Amino acid sequence: TPLFYACYAGQLECVKYLLKSVVSAGGDLYGDTVLHAATTSGNTAGITLLLQSGCVKVDDRNHTRLTCAHVAPNVETLTFLGEQCEADLLATDTEERMPLAYACLRNDVESIHYLCKKHPDFVDYADVRGNTPLHVAAWLGLQEAVEVLITYLPSIALYITNEDGQNAAELARSNGNEDVAAFLDSVMAAAETRTNRNLEVWTTALKGL
């Protein structure tokens, strides 16, 4: 529709004009709404106009259950949605992937930071195939994204396996991302060393009781 393309192109004056005759905005062939279009282009002013008009809601989904939080292209847009528009940053698509997984898919490190800080208890949330955001980043060989994720993850999350029985390091290695796999191996080794040291301390303390 003209409104859809105006939103995608960031033509605010056109959006304002077209909204005068729109009561409810439907989706396109894929179920994407005008809000998806405005969000994809990072047009926060357009997002505001659409939500104020009432023709869409911030958590409207397309046919694969993607919300605007899934398709936000950068941390500025995502933060605007989360803080100003109260978008659901834990919304899941048909594969049970949250916006964090999509931030990993586009290697958006700043958005990864934001989402991890916002909902630290969901950083290791797995999709229907058992892949966590760490699996996604490791699969793509995204070293910086992996480094960010592990700062928010408990060490046990490094051992989570997907439906193929692979943890993130194993998935990285099977996809030829040896540098990422080696890095994750080193992190797991360090975690095991710390655990063993803690066990020694606890054992010694118990013997002294």
Inter-helix orientation angle 12-19/2-9, to 10°: 150
How confident is residue 28, by pLDDT bands cut at 50, 70 and 90? confident
Q: Nearest to residue 157, comparing CAs of 199, 198, 105, 122?
A: 122
Range of lowest pLDDT (12-16, 79-83, 161-165): 12-16
> How many Å apart are CA 54 and CA 52, to the nearest integer?
5
Section 191-200 average pLDDT: 66
Q: Nearest to residue 73, comparing CAs of 122, 108, 22, 98?
A: 108
Instruction: Tell me the fold of 1-94.
Output: 1.25.40
How confident is residue 193, by pLDDT bands cut at 50, 70 and 90? confident
Do residues 55 and 22 touch, judged by C-beta distance below 8 A? yes
| pLDDT tens digits, one per residue of 91-137 | 999 999 999 999 999 999 999 999 999 999 999 999 999 999 999 99
Instruction: Tell me the fold of 97-209.
Output: 1.25.40
Range of lowest pLDDT (6-10, 40-44, 116-120, 160-164): 6-10
Domain span(s) for CATH 1.25.40.20 in the chain = 1-94, 97-209
Q: Nearest to residue 81, comparing CAs of 104, 114, 53?
A: 114
